[in-house]
């Protein structure tokens, strides 16, 4: 009604229309990624006096990450926070971030993501129907299982390891001698409990918050990959927003990153301590060399395209 009156008066009605957006995350409400999204929502609320309302659906209520991304592309979900892993099959360049032992440290990863390479990868999502708004942290992923401690790839022979829906991840486990089983995150607990898989791999906070430690007591600090998280918006929905609102969204997403990273750093320590207290058998003195050597063929396989090879070289040169 107000919008109609304003447009009769020749005023920009759209500027007054309230906008309701839905954001999805597989993690629970207290997890750093969800709190990052919440801070985005709070900023939008404040900046627009409630005109832009971002409602968050945590705990995989809107599906697993592959479904979430598909729905986001088709406009059924407005914003998704996912790992970059499930994006690999949609946007090949993102596969580079799933390559093992690519980033030397958290600092290196953050420098790359915050710089021109990070911007390039986010911008490259647009032709695929997604607007890349920000990166969140996910630390390093480690191997865990319910069978035996893993010290070297030899210990993983024949182990059925759940991976994200990403070809790079499937191949990563295969090169180590494991049997990769791609599945959505929400099914992992039950599959471990039933023994349909032997193990999985993930960072400390996810291992703890998903309670996988209850059904997989062997955790090896392999730190084999640091795959970032991403906040993406539906391009379909994005194009319906004014340039001003698009800028507000970008800003709110970007502004949520430092908070998310602080929460992340703190949560890694809390989760690690909680796992020690829970009696998990933690193998922390891992010699990474055999893992690196075994996974080297992945680089040859995935970097046949000179553009991707160049991208990896540029990432390595960042310091
Ligand atoms: C977590 C990540 C989730 C999800 C999960 C998985 O580290 O935060 O977005 O991708 O891993 O393994 O499915």
Q: pLDDT per residue over 130-161, tens digit each? A: 999 999 999 999 999 999 999 999 999 999 99
82 Cβ below 6 A of ligand 1: yes
Tell which atom from ligand 1 comes closest to the C-alpha of 185: 13
Which of 229, 260, 261 gets mutated to test ligand 1 (max ligand atoms within 8 A of its CB)?
Answer: 229
Listed residue (176, 268, 275) closest to 216, CA to CA: 275
CA distance readout (Å), 63 to 27, 102, 121, 214, 249:
11, 29, 25, 23, 23
Six-digit token pair at 97?
Answer: 């971030």
Q: Does 10 have pLDDT greater than 60?
A: no
Which of 58, 63, 136, 164 gets mutated to test ligand 1 (max ligand atoms within 8 A of its CB)?
Answer: 164
Q: Does 3 have pLDDT greater than 90?
A: no
Tell which atom from ligand 1 comes closest to the C-alpha of 203: 7
CA distance readout (Å), 22 to 43, 46, 97, 117, 315:
15, 17, 27, 28, 33
Alpha-carbon distance of 117 to 315, in angstroms, equals 8
The rounded mean pLDDT for the chain is 95
- Over residues 13-23, the mean pLDDT reads 82
Listed residue (304, 132, 118, 319) closest to 234, CA to CA: 132
Which of 65, 168, 230 gets mutated to test ligand 1 (max ligand atoms within 8 A of its CB)?
Answer: 65
Tell which atom from ligand 1 comes closest to the C-alpha of 184: 13
How far the first Cα of the chain sits from its last, in Å, is 55
- Over residues 9-25, the mean pLDDT reads 75
Q: Does 195 have pLDDT greater than 80?
A: yes
166 Cβ below 6 A of ligand 1: no
Residues 288 and 223 sit within 8 Å (Cβ to Cβ)? yes
pLDDT of residue 15: 59
- Over residues 16-34, the mean pLDDT reads 96
88 Cβ below 6 A of ligand 1: no
Provide the pLDDT confidence category of residue 13 given band limits of 50, 70 and 90. Answer: very low
Nearest CA to ligand 1 atom 10: 83
Compute, in angstroms, the gap from residue 15 CA to the centroid of ligand 1: 37
Strand blocks (E) in the chain: 19-25, 52-57, 79-83, 130-136, 141-145, 160-163, 179-182, 199-202, 218-225, 229-234, 281-283
pLDDT of residue 4: 47
65 Cβ below 6 A of ligand 1: yes
All residues at 6 or more sequence positions from 194 whose CB lies less than 8 Å from its CB, including other chains: none
pLDDT of residue 9: 47
Tell which atom from ligand 1 comes closest to the C-alpha of 81: 9
pTM above the 0.85 mark?
yes
Residues 217 and 280 sit within 8 Å (Cβ to Cβ)? yes
């Amino acid at each position: 009604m107000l919008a109609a009156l304003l447009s009769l008066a020749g005023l920009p009605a759209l500027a007054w229309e309230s906008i309701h957006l839905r954001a999805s995350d597989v993690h629970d409400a207290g997890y750093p990624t969800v709190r990052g999204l919440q801070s985005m929502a709070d900023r939008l609320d404040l900046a627009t006096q409630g005109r832009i309302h971002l409602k968050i659906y945590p705990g995989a209520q809107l599906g697993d990450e592959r479904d979430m991304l598909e729905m986001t592309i088709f406009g059924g979900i407005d914003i998704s926070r996912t790992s970059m892993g499930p994006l690999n099959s949609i946007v090949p360049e993102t596969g580079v971030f799933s390559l093992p032992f690519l980033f030397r440290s958290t600092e290196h990863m953050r420098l790359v993501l915050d710089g021109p390479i990070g911007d390039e990868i986010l911008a490259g999502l647009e032709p695929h129907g997604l607007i890349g708004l920000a990166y969140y942290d996910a630390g390093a992923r480690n191997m865990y299982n319910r069978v035996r401690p893993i010290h070297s790839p030899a210990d993983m022979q024949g182990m059925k390891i759940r991976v994200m829906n990403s070809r790079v991840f499937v191949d990563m486990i295969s090169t180590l001698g494991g049997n990769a089983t791609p599945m959505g995150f929400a099914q992992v607990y039950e599959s471990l409990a039933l023994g349909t898989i032997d193990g999985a791999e993930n960072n400390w906070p996810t291992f703890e918050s998903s309670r996988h430690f209850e059904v997989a007591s062997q955790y090896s600090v392999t730190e084999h990959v640091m795959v970032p998280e991403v906040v993406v918006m539906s391009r379909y929905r994005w194009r319906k927003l004014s340039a001003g609102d698009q800028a507000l969204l970008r800003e709110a997403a970007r502004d949520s990153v430092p908070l998310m990273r602080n929460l992340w750093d703190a949560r890694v320590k809390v989760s690690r301590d909680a796992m020690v207290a829970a009696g998990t058998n933690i193998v922390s003195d891992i010699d990474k060399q055999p893992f690196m050597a075994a996974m080297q063929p992945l680089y040859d396989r995935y970097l046949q395209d000179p553009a991707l090879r160049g991208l990896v070289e540029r990432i390595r040169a960042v310091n």
